[in-house]
Structure 1
């Protein structure tokens, strides 16, 4: 299967038919991916840098919050988004009681949604504490998230940015959620490839951003992984050749070229190319992590 076919198949993976799955009580950390174990993220364990990956909304369970079983749809998303990072870091990916695809479509905002997100974050924070205490061994770490996973990591960065763990942060790839300069006190947008301890944030659109778009806007941060600190168009490396990207006036990453103009905006135009945020820029992101890791280790 070509890389483009894999990219397009992501739409099917993330919008599959919902099937009932039994829920489970909270339990110790369950790792969807960990170094040394064959799995969807590759299992490499010989890099000097770790990646801590939190996957997007993908669970097909019927409950509001998923259980922590490493179900096939989670593995499919991790293989698509996280496995390429196995070339540059040891990938750790915990399961967590995320809001399911069903609840994302049916649960209204307000206290019920906030409570469900808080439950999800409880698992991510516990997994981070487990990782830091028992598995990190002093290695630098890159945080990688998308969509709901980025919501979790935004909270995590806020919790750790004034702790000693901040000194181990190579960078945070906070993709597919609106991140603002006011979200953090000490962690700022990456402005050059060799800068570390910073974050990358963007959401991709291939058409003009609608007025009611879910992402971007006046307060959003957009950092082009192919041209940090610039709003000029730059070649974006990924499965589609001849693609360029730029952070536009609406603070979203506008992509064009290749077949990007034909890619569907799912579930509607307000989401842009949300499901493909990481995949479209996959090689550029891996290159960036490689450069940032080398700079961090060089210091």
Structure 2
């Protein structure tokens, strides 16, 4: 698959252009990806660092919460977002009873909160199972996007005071509004060699609308191509010739190449949400490689 084809595939997957297949809900964690298994994330098992990946809203099931079936749209999305990390870490990715695409925008606040709380119980259970297998001293990078980032924000709050906190290489909290007040011991990464920190941003290719879903005065924006800087830097991914900078609205503003013609789907308030990870894929993989080396050296 060419880099541009991968970019278009990520749009297609996140727009729900696949067919979902539901099955009976298993009693324990179902792993969409795990080291050594043939699957959408590559199955690598020889890296000294793990990646724990939580996918964004993708389920096409009709219920409020999906079941834990590893349906085709989840596998397709993991192949786009998570598989590139197989070069630098062993990828673990649980399925979870996420709030589905059909109900994301239609539920009232309390119902939405309840659905997300149920989804998180699966992520926490999967994390506990992961620790039981790998141990709480295994170096790990957390990788999430959109609803997956919401899940990881909750997980990080739960593990900040546990031994697993010391094994955190970094957390890539992409495509959600993360603030400095979300954590008590975690700070934004400010240099490539920083560890035990987080990266957070949402991507726009036009000025952020006043009613935008992401960014704003309290948001954290960390440019994966130039941590700690607001200057434009080359963003490495499937589109050559684009730069990225964290602007005054605390969003990652991309310019150059064909970035200006990329669709803001479903509307301008979302920016380039569907492509948050894909546009910066190589920059993110490079960052995880650098952070992992720094963590292991210490």
- Note whether the superposition's TM-score is higher than 0.5: yes
Equivalent position of 1:10 in the other structure: 10
Higher deviation after alignment, 12-21 or 248-257: 12-21
**Cα contact 1:18–1:102 (8 A) shared by 2:** no
> How much does 1:19 deviate?
6.1
Q: 1:217 to 1:150 in 2, by over 3 A?
A: same
Q: Any unmatched runs of 5+ in structure 1?
A: none
Separation of aligned partners in 2, 1:175 and 1:18: 23
Separation of aligned partners in 2, 1:135 and 1:20: 31
Equivalent position of 1:154 in the other structure: 153
**Cα contact 2:18–2:73 (8 A) shared by 1:** no
**Cα contact 1:41–1:82 (8 A) shared by 2:** yes
Match of 1:222, SS? coil
Say whether 1:76 aligns with 2:76.
yes
Separation of aligned partners in 2, 1:166 and 1:60: 34
Say whether 1:266 aligns with 2:235.
no
> How much does 1:15 deviate?
1.4
For 1:164-203, list aligned pairs within 5 A.
164-203=163-202
**Cα contact 1:23–1:63 (8 A) shared by 2:** no
Separation of aligned partners in 2, 1:250 and 1:217: 5
TM-score (norm. length: structure 2) = 0.97
Equivalent position of 1:43 in the other structure: 43
**Cα contact 2:37–2:43 (8 A) shared by 1:** yes
Separation of aligned partners in 1, 2:200 and 2:136: 28
Q: Any unmatched runs of 5+ in structure 2?
A: none
Equivalent position of 2:100 in the other structure: 100
Separation of aligned partners in 1, 2:282 and 2:15: 24
Say whether 1:204 aligns with 2:212.
no
> How much does 1:136 deviate?
4.1
Say whether 1:253 aligns with 2:252.
yes
1:221-255 deviation line (CA, Å, top 9, x unaligned): 00000000000000000000011000000000000
**Cα contact 2:16–2:58 (8 A) shared by 1:** no
Q: 1:18 to 1:186 in 2, by over 3 A?
A: same
1:47-78 deviation line (CA, Å, top 9, x unaligned): 00000000000001010000000000000100
